Amino acid sequence: MFALYVRFELKDETAAIGFDELVAKTAPLIKSEEPGTLHYIVHTIKDAPLSRAFYEVYADRTAFEAHEQQPHVKHFLAERDQYLESHQVDWLTPTGGKGLITGE
């Protein structure tokens, strides 16, 4: 299992609309074209209207690398910066919990 959390800070309300439209075009392709992407969940954040959080879980590192090579993901990565003030990626190491995929 390979997971990460990304928080995006958007420039303004117009940027938020554009970013959300970009995500709306990209997410269905992730769902339909990427069997190794187990969870790709986009969140808004209460009391932070210009923030978005992505929680992503992949079967393994290879699945994540395949995700990064998809044309729809490359398009997302090329277009997203015009909407961003900043972003932060946190690489996650699961240590326990309900639904944990252990490979067993």
Q: With respect to residue 103, please indicate whether it lies within any of the assigned structural domains.
A: no
What SS3 class is residue 91? strand
CB 88: neighbour CB atoms within 10 A? 10
Q: With respect to residue 16, please indicate whether it lies within any of the assigned structural domains.
A: yes
Predicted local distance difference test score (pLDDT) of residue 104 = 43
Predicted local distance difference test score (pLDDT) of residue 101 = 67
Structural domain of residue 35, as residue ranges? Answer: 2-92
User: What confidence tens digit (pLDDT) does each residue in 11-47 have?
Assistant: 999 999 999 999 999 999 999 999 999 999 999 999 9
Q: With respect to residue 23, please indicate whether it lies within any of the assigned structural domains.
A: yes
Predicted local distance difference test score (pLDDT) of residue 97 = 87
Q: Which CATH number does the domain housing residue 67 bear?
A: 3.30.70.100
pTM listed for this prediction: 0.92
Q: With respect to residue 99, please indicate whether it lies within any of the assigned structural domains.
A: no
By the 10 Å C-beta count (0-12 exposed, 13-18 middle, 19+ buried), 56 is classed as buried
Q: With respect to residue 101, please indicate whether it lies within any of the assigned structural domains.
A: no
